């Protein structure tokens, strides 16, 4: 019998606890987003899918060489001024969002976006092609990029070399420190031999006179 009433008490109290929480949230502002119509605003430093601005990329290969999982594919043809990029792709299946590519890109073309949703049915579609060779190839050489009107990185002025420093003789280079009035008597007492004051002792010259 006691167990019967204990069960009733347990049930009623747990329902009341649940209702208490429900009532507390009834008048609060909803936090649910109506995804995909509404998207969450991510923090500034959030690392989403890697994005490359192909107008700035010059196919230097730094990002591909640094990528620890080798998920950046860059292909180019030709040499020197004739060199053209034919493919730039990233396999998001492999990317670990380490940001090594973005931190070392010298043109700042590759960045971590705030894009967090690339839901797909087929994993093969997560290999993103950033350029289509049918639309034209991208010049890699700086001079060709300038000629064709592509974005080029501003040239940084090299710092001027400093003039050589002339070596001075040791005495000139390190002059003896000036003795302070307080320190002078002390220093003198340490270095100079003790002599009796001249006034106490008649000089030989005076005696001769």
Q: Report the distance separating Cα 124 and Cα 93, nearest Å.
A: 8
Nearest Cα to Cα of residue 92 among 127, 122, 116, 51: 127
Strand 110-112 relative to strand 138-139: parallel, antiparallel, unpaired? unpaired
Comparing CB distances to ligand SF4, the nearer of 81 and 91 is 91
Q: What is the x/- site pattern for ligand SF4, positions 46-75, by CB under 6 A?
A: ----x-x----xxxxxxx--xx-x-xx-x-
Comparing CB distances to ligand SF4, the nearer of 25 and 65 is 65
Q: Which of 18, 73, 105, 171 binds ligand SF4 (CB under 6 A)?
A: 105
State yes or no: residue 138 binds ligand SF4 (CB under 6 A): no
Residue with tokens 């001249």: 198
Comparing CB distances to ligand SF4, the nearer of 15 and 96 is 96
Residues 6+ apart with CB under 8 A from 83: 59, 76, 77, 139, 140, 141, 144
CB 80 within 8 A of CB 143: no
Comparing CB distances to ligand SF4, the nearer of 72 and 84 is 72
Q: What is the x/- site pattern for ligand SF4, positions 31-50, by CB under 6 A?
A: -------------------x
Q: Which range, of 32-40, 95-103, 162-170, 172-180, touches ligand SF4 by CB under 6 A?
A: 95-103
Q: For the chain, where are the alpha helices, taking DSSP H only? A: 2-26, 62-66, 100-104, 142-148, 170-173, 183-191, 204-208
State yes or no: residue 140 binds ligand SF4 (CB under 6 A): no
Site residues, ligand SF4 (CB under 6 A): 50, 52, 57-63, 66-67, 69, 71-72, 74, 90, 95-101, 105, 107, 109-110
């Amino acid at each position: 019998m006691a167990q019967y009433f204990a069960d009733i008490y347990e049930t009623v109290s747990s329902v009341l606890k649940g209702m208490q929480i429900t009532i507390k949230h009834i008048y609060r502002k909803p936090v649910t987003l109506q995804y995909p119509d509404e998207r969450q605003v991510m923090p500034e430093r959030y690392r989403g899918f890697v994005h490359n601005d192909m107008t700035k990329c010059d196919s230097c290969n730094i990002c591909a060489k640094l990528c620890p999982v080798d998920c950046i594919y860059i292909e180019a043809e030709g040499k020197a001024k004739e060199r053209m990029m034919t493919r730039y792709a990233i396999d998001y299946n492999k990317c670990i969002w380490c940001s090594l590519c973005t931190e070392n890109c010298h043109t700042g073309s590759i960045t971590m976006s705030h894009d967090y949703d690339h839901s797909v049915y087929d994993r093969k579609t997560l290999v993103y092609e950033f350029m289509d060779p049918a639309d034209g190839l991208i010049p890699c050489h700086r001079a060709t990029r300038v000629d064709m009107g592509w974005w080029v990185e501003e040239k940084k002025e090299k710092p001027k070399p400093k003039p050589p420093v002339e070596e001075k003789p040791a005495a000139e280079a390190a002059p003896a420190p000036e003795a302070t009035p307080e320190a002078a008597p002390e220093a003198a007492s340490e270095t100079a031999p003790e002599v009796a004051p001249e006034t106490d002792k008649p000089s030989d010259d005076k005696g001769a006179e």
